[in-house]
Every structure is written in C-alpha cells, then in structure tokens.
Amino acid sequence: MSGRVVAAACGAALALLTALPAQAGTPGPRTPHWDLKETGTAAVRFRGLAAVDRHTAWVSGTAGTVLRTTDGGGSWRDVSPPGAADLQFRDIEAFDARHAVVLAIGEGEASRVYRTEDGGTTWTESFRNTDAHAFYDCLTFFDRRHGLAMSDPVDGKFRILSTGDGGRSWKVLPNAGMPAALDGEAGFAASGQCLVASGPRDVWLATGGAARARVLHSSDRGLTWTAADTPVPAGDPARGVFAVAFRDRTHGLAVGGDYRADQPSPRAAAATGDAGRTWRPAATAPPAYRSGVAWLPHSRSAALAVGPTGTDLTTDAGRTWRTLDTGSYDTVDCTPDHACWAAGEQGRVARLES
C-alpha cells in the first residue's frame, strides 16, 4: 500500500473518530480502534513514546529498554543503550528515525540523558545528575536544538535543565524566576508529558502531590514561570495533573487524578484557552485516572486521553469526554501525517486504525 493511501486511511480514521455518536462503541468494520503491534517485550512497561510519523515511532521504558520501528510497527528494533538495564527510561523525544534523546528517571545518578544520531546504534550519555536531592521526571524540545528537562523541587523550587545543541550538553537554569513549590509538590514521571512545549518559547509543567494540583507556564524557555491552580483532584501524594497537551500556545488540556486503582478520580480533566492562566473542569470527565493526553492532528477540538483502564475522546476541546477503548495504555502521541500511537504495560504499543 502506498504512503499516500496509508495517510488517507489514517486521516479517515481520525475523521471518523470525531464523527462518532455520543454513544460510542457501536460495532462496525470502520470503527477506529487501537491496533496492537507485537514488540516481543511483554515484561517491559513503556511510559516514553515519541511518534515521528505513521511509519516511525520510538518507545522507552523499564529495564533500560528503547525500541524503534520504521515500518509502522510491523517490526521493532531493540536499540537500548548498553549498560542501562538498571535504568527506567520514562521519556523519549525523537526528531526523526535517527535522532532521539531519552531520559532516565530516579534519585541522584539514576537521572540521566542519552542521545543518539544513528537510530540507536550508538548512544552518548550527555547528562548524569550528581545532586542527590534532584529527581528528573520529563523532558521536552521546542525544536531540534532547544529543549528542557525538569526535576522535582530542589531547595524548594522545581529545577530546570536546558540544552541549546540538541541534547549534546545541558546546564541547570537559574531558579530566580521559578515560583516556590508547595509542600509535597512534584511531577509525575508517568507518560513523558509532565513537561511539554508548544512553539518556539512556551512550555508548561504539570504538578501534583500537594494541596493543589497546578500547571506552571513559561514563555521564555524556562527562565521565568507563573503558576495556576487546576480543578484536578489533589491533596494526596498520588493525585494531581499527570499530563498536559497544547495544540498551540493558548489552548491546552490537562488530565490526571489518583493513580491508585482502588481510588476514584472525579474531575480528572481540565482545559484552558488562555495559555494556562485559568483552567476549567470538564463537564463530563474521563471515568478514571488518565496519565497521557494528545490532540488529534490538525484538529481544534479533538483529543485522546489514555490510562490503565482505557482511552477517552473529546470532540469539544475537553468539555466532555467519552470512552472509546478499555485497553491499558500509559501514554499517547499523534503526528502531523494523521497517525496516533499509544504505549503502556506488558510491552503494549498500538497505532490507531479504522
């Protein structure tokens, strides 16, 4: 099948998603669904996902695992950095089939950044955290050169790491422009979406674990920040905003809740239309905790949210959500050529098909 035909099919699937009736789930041969791709890694949980296009995607996860596909998930190549089996790769950002940056999370030296320029054949460790108080959760890029990584608070403020050379080198930014963290506040390394950028300078940081769940915003690549409360449940170390997604510099979505399976997660989604200065709760929220969220390609109103108990769709920019699938996924990412990918536990990786 030609690339043009595949692109058309993917576009049709996404268009059909937005046209589904309120009572989703009616069986039919063209109902969009997640098509599981065999990765051969059932023991690995993939919380890091970088979807490049309908053919190429990278995933990262437990046991220092990084996989890459260039044929739409038909086959996967294990491109894990050598000697990394004890690390947890919770976030990965990829620019194409050859260039990617991956973040390992954890206390002290467990937090590291690796970079590849040859599709994962070789990796270079470009950052290793030496501060025992730092714990890096997520990273994001504005373009192929400029990016940030974030750590849980150190000395009372979130710590921001910056690169201007595509991840080859990193420096800690001054914290004078960072608001003080709340007691117990931290980021959640659940989907690689607790730090996201949109455009050349805007970036948002999602938090939880404190009395209020907040989203912090910077419009100068992480030098100064403002904090805004969200209506997402908080007040417990297991609750907060787990992921954010912005389709431009003003319109964004936040999802989260309580990650414990035996706890409810009401009001676990919110939306903003003013760059995150204010957040409004969803009138109909996802039915449970959600850890990942992504706007559908070229859509002003449609997005997907995923979590361990299912996938939900909004077609009204986050005002209401309805469940499409009950499979377990931790993270989701969509590409400009109309492809959406998801990844999660037991080596699960899927692409949206119709």
Over its length of 354 residues, how does the chain's per-residue pLDDT go in tens digits? 334 333 444 454 555 565 554 444 444 445 689 999 999 999 999 999 999 999 999 999 999 999 999 999 999 999 999 999 999 999 999 999 999 999 999 999 999 999 999 999 999 999 999 999 999 999 999 999 999 999 999 999 999 999 999 999 999 999 999 999 999 999 999 999 999 999 999 999 999 999 999 999 999 999 999 999 999 999 999 999 999 999 999 999 999 999 999 999 999 999 999 999 999 999 999 999 999 999 999 999 999 999 999 999 999 999 999 999 999 999 999 999 999 999 999 999 999 997
CA dist., res. 205 & res. 159, Å (int): 11
At 18, which helix (H) or strand (E)?
helix 3-19
**Whole-number pLDDT of residue 29:** 46
CA 331, distance to chain mean position in Å, is 6
**Whole-number pLDDT of residue 354:** 76
Domain limits of the chain?
Answer: 3-353
CA dist., res. 167 & res. 148, Å (int): 9
**Whole-number pLDDT of residue 65:** 98
Radius of gyration, alpha carbons of the chain:
19
At 270, which helix (H) or strand (E)?
strand 269-272
Q: Is 321 left (phi over 0), alpha (psi -120 to 50) or beta?
A: beta
188 forms beta bridges with none
CA dist., res. 111 & res. 130, Å (int): 9
Strands 135-141 and 280-281: unpaired
pTM for the full predicted model: 0.93
Domain 3-353, CATH homologous superfamily name and number = YVTN repeat-like/Quinoprotein amine dehydrogenase (2.130.10.10)
Phi, psi of 141 (to 5 degrees): -130, 140
**Whole-number pLDDT of residue 32:** 81
